[in-house]
Amino acid sequence: MTTTTPLKSLADEAAQVMRAITLIKLGARMQVLESEISTLSRERLIRLYREVKGASPPKGMLPFSEDWYLTWGPNIHTSMFANVYAFLEANSKGLDRVDLLTRAYSLYAEHFDMIGEPLQMDLTRAWTFIRFKDAGILRLAGCTRCRGKFVAHAHEPSHSMVCGICQPPSRAGKTKAAAKAALERDAAPQAQAA
């Protein structure tokens, strides 16, 4: 009977190691690991990372801003991931954040692998999206044309939202209004030359 507690904590620890390995395999950076696997020390996480990847984790801060998720290609990829995440969150009781993240990301990656399209979003970006969503900066909003749900700024009015599939950005062959909307949405520096 006295062995119950240590045995349980060993099993817990093994489970945490497995979760960390899953995250590393999917492409998590150190910030993700340290934030989500708080029961393992930074040194152990670095060792695990080296074992799994055969290289040291990249250094430096995460440079991501929320605007990345609103550019055309990334928005379609993030939206697919976000829809899967939201579905799992609503329908899978007992899954915690890490489970939701790794399952939703695996399904996202499988989907785009299957149709032969390179992934635009790595796991760390997916994790950062969840943080923006939880902080109320980004959300899923319904497209007024196709009714699909796409990632948008939380403060953006939803009654006029049109997704990037219904209205892809194009610099030629579109109506003036559509071209103008595309330029505004891209907000690229070269837009000033047009």
Nearer to Zn ion, 162 or 183 (CB): 162
The answer to whether the annotation marks 102 as part of a ligand binding site is no
Q: How far is the CB of 150 from Zn ion (least distance, A)?
A: 7
Nearer to Zn ion, 69 or 105 (CB): 69
Q: How far is the CB of 89 from Zn ion (least distance, A)?
A: 22
Judged by DSSP in three states, 17 sits in helix
Nearer to Zn ion, 53 or 145 (CB): 145
Question: Is the CB of residue 78 less than 8 Å from the CB of residue 86?
Answer: no
Write out the residues near Zn ion by the rule CB under 5 A.
143, 145-146, 163, 166
**Which one-letter amino acid corresponds to residue 74?**
P
The answer to whether the annotation marks 87 as part of a ligand binding site is no
Question: Is the CB of residue 88 less than 8 Å from the CB of residue 100?
Answer: yes
The answer to whether the annotation marks 143 as part of a ligand binding site is yes
152 closest CA partner among 167, 164, 169, 138 = 138
Phi/psi at 149 (5° precision): -105, 130
Bridge partners for 138 per DSSP: 153
The answer to whether the annotation marks 151 as part of a ligand binding site is no
Please give the annotated binding residues, written as ranges: 143, 146, 163, 166
Please give the annotated binding residues for Zn(2+), written as ranges: 143, 146, 163, 166
